[in-house]
């Protein structure tokens, strides 16, 4: 009963994936949650309020201007008397409304009136998901602190098209809800952790920089997972577009040297997890003014110099944390390179992953990793980055607490 006593408002908007919401209601209730459903007009074209009401054992809220609904709880109480709002499926239209603060029906009004955590499970045609307008809206909502699960790749129910747009499976949505509502045991209470995440930006001149494709999703998820287990976490993040994780002190930096300084200034700590994709090189002398193109002249080569290796510095520091974890993003020989890295950098664990472009891991939401210790190699199944984070946080806890 991982959701025992939790009150969830489930907003169902109008997409074919609404049929999966029926199963989602069952799964949430099986785990002890109560579910209050809100349906948009569109949703009612795909599944009936009768089915939603029967499965949730609740009144189904559909109208903003309904005397009956308003007398029952009213949209403001609907928005506040809950622990979590889940939107599944979330259409492009509902996300656009939310991103712009529109409130012209019950669902959008509840979403504007709430200060509770909101979990969004988008479902739409791949072209709609890839549209710049939708991307803008997702970025806005992420920055507003909403959490997303999915969409997943696969075949669309209506058109048979392939691509990103399928709603996440009900059990994955439940797991994401559990993570957001977690009030489980705190085996890392009293422990301190430092996590790095995201890329670094190494300036070429005041307007240009060298960067990489890291999104920060994995590092941020690890910081959040350690915090959920009770650790006092500092996240040192390079430039990313995702929100700071809840319950984590986040320090924003741009360059590798700034990241190193921020990390070292927070030692000693019990745990260090260095996930950032730190640029190996920076421009030796970045220009104070914008470098101008001169007609007829060949471009001048960039002189690079090596950046500090933050993981290696931490792994060999006099205040070395009890557990030092590194990542190894490789495109070939994942295991051998990971092992070599463990030794060279003085780490206890290396999480190695294959970031060849075809895996979609760099910048994506899923990850397929090998956990390399001094004595073993474990292949973990294909998991969401949140699940990798949870597993890693549990493993760190066991190692630290002598498990
Ligand atoms: O050597 P490589 O960049 O592949 O090592 C990856 C691991 O080292 C990651 O954990 C990364 O965060 C860390 N690293 C670092 N500072 C660097 C380069 C990598 O902390 N300058």
Residue 345 pLDDT class (50, 70, 90 cuts): very high
Q: Which residues, listed in sequence order, are joined to residue 377 by a DSSP beta bridge?
A: 372
Among 372, 361, 366, CA closest to 388: 366
Range with top average pLDDT, 64-68, 186-190, 322-326: 322-326
Helices (H), 214-269: 217-228, 256-264
pLDDT score recorded for residue 368: 83
Instruction: Give the other-Cβ count within 10 Å of 382's Cβ.
Output: 12
Among 267, 240, 239, 266, CA closest to 255: 239
Residue of 311, 324, 333 with the most ligand 1 atoms within 8 Å of its CB, for mutation: 311
Q: Is the CB of 137 under 6 A from ligand 1?
A: no
Residue of 309, 313, 316, 353 with the most ligand 1 atoms within 8 Å of its CB, for mutation: 309
Residue 68 pLDDT class (50, 70, 90 cuts): confident
In the predicted model, what is the mean pLDDT of residues 221-247?
Answer: 93
Q: Is the CB of 92 under 6 A from ligand 1?
A: no
Q: Is the CB of 196 under 6 A from ligand 1?
A: yes
Nearest-angstrom CA–CA distance, 265 and 131: 42
Residue of 312, 325, 326 with the most ligand 1 atoms within 8 Å of its CB, for mutation: 326
Please check the confidence at residue 209 and state whether its pLDDT lies above 60: yes
Active-site positions read 212
Is 263 in contact with 310 (CB distance < 8 Å)?
yes
Please check the confidence at residue 403 and state whether its pLDDT lies above 60: no
Nearest-atom number in ligand 1 for the CA of 196 is 12
Please check the confidence at residue 81 and state whether its pLDDT lies above 80: yes
Q: Is the CB of 311 under 6 A from ligand 1?
A: yes
pLDDT score recorded for residue 214: 92
Nearest-angstrom CA–CA distance, 90 and 36: 16
Q: Is the CB of 216 under 6 A from ligand 1?
A: no
Between the CA of 277 and the centroid of ligand 1 the distance, in Å, is 6
Q: Is the CB of 274 under 6 A from ligand 1?
A: yes
Domains in the chain (CATH in brackets) are 7-181 (3.40.50.1950), 192-400 (3.40.50.10300)
Tell me the average pLDDT of the chain.
92
Model confidence pLDDT, tens digit, residues 102-143? 999 999 999 999 999 999 999 999 999 999 999 999 999 988
Nearest-atom number in ligand 1 for the CA of 275 is 12
Model confidence pLDDT, tens digit, residues 6-45? 999 999 999 999 999 999 999 999 999 999 999 999 999 9
In the predicted model, what is the mean pLDDT of residues 337-351?
Answer: 95
Q: What is the token pair recorded at 381?
A: 């199944």
Share above pLDDT 90 across residues of the chain, in percent, rounded to a whole number = 75
Compute the residue count for the chain: 403
């Amino acid at each position: 009963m991982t959701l025992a006593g939790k009150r969830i408002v489930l907003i169902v908007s109008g997409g074919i994936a609404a049929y999966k919401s029926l199963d989602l209601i069952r799964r949430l209730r099986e785990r002890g949650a109560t579910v209050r459903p809100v349906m948009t007009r569109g949703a009612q074209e795909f599944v009936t309020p009768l089915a939603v009401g029967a499965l949730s054992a609740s009144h189904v809220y559909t109208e903003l201007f309904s005397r009956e609904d308003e007398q029952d709880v009213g949209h403001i109480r609907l928005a506040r008397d809950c622990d979590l709002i889940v939107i599944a499926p979330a259409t492009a239209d509902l996300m656009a409304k939310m991103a712009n603060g529109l409130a012209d029906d019950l669902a959008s009004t509840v979403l504007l009136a709430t200060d509770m955590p909101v979990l969004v499970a988008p479902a739409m045609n791949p072209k709609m998901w890839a549209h710049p307008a939708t991307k803008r809206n997702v970025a806005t909502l992420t920055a507003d602190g909403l959490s997303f699960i999915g969409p997943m790749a696969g075949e669309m129910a209506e058109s048979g098209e392939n691509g990103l747009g399928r709603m996440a499976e009900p059990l994955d949505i439940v797991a994401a809800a559990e993570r957001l509502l977690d009030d489980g045991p705190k085996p890392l209470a009293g422990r301190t952790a430092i996590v790095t995440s995201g890329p670094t930006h190494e300036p070429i001149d005041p307007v240009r920089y060298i960067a990489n494709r890291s999104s920060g999703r994995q590092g941020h998820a690890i910081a959040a997972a350690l915090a959920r287990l009770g650790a006092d976490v500092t996240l040192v993040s390079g430039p990313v577009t995702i929100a700071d994780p809840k319950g984590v002190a986040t320090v924003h930096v741009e360059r590798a040297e700034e990241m190193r300084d921020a990390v070292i200034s927070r030692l000693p700590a019990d745990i260090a997890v260095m996930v950032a994709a730190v640029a190996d090189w920076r421009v030796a002398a970045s220009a104070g003014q914008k470098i101008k193109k001169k007609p007829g002249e060949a471009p001048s080569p960039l002189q690079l110099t090596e950046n500090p290796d933050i993981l290696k510095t931490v792994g060999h520091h006099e205040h070395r944390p009890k557990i030092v974890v590194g990542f190894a993003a490789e495109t070939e020989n994942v295991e051998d390179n990971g092992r070599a890295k463990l030794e060279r950098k003085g780490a206890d664990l290396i999480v190695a992953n294959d970031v060849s472009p075809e895996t979609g891991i760099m910048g994506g939401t899923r990850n397929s990793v090998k956990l390399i210790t001094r004595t073993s190699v474990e292949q973990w199944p294909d998991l969401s980055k949140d699940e990798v984070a949870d597993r890693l946080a549990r493993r760190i806890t066991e190692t630290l607490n002598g498990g």
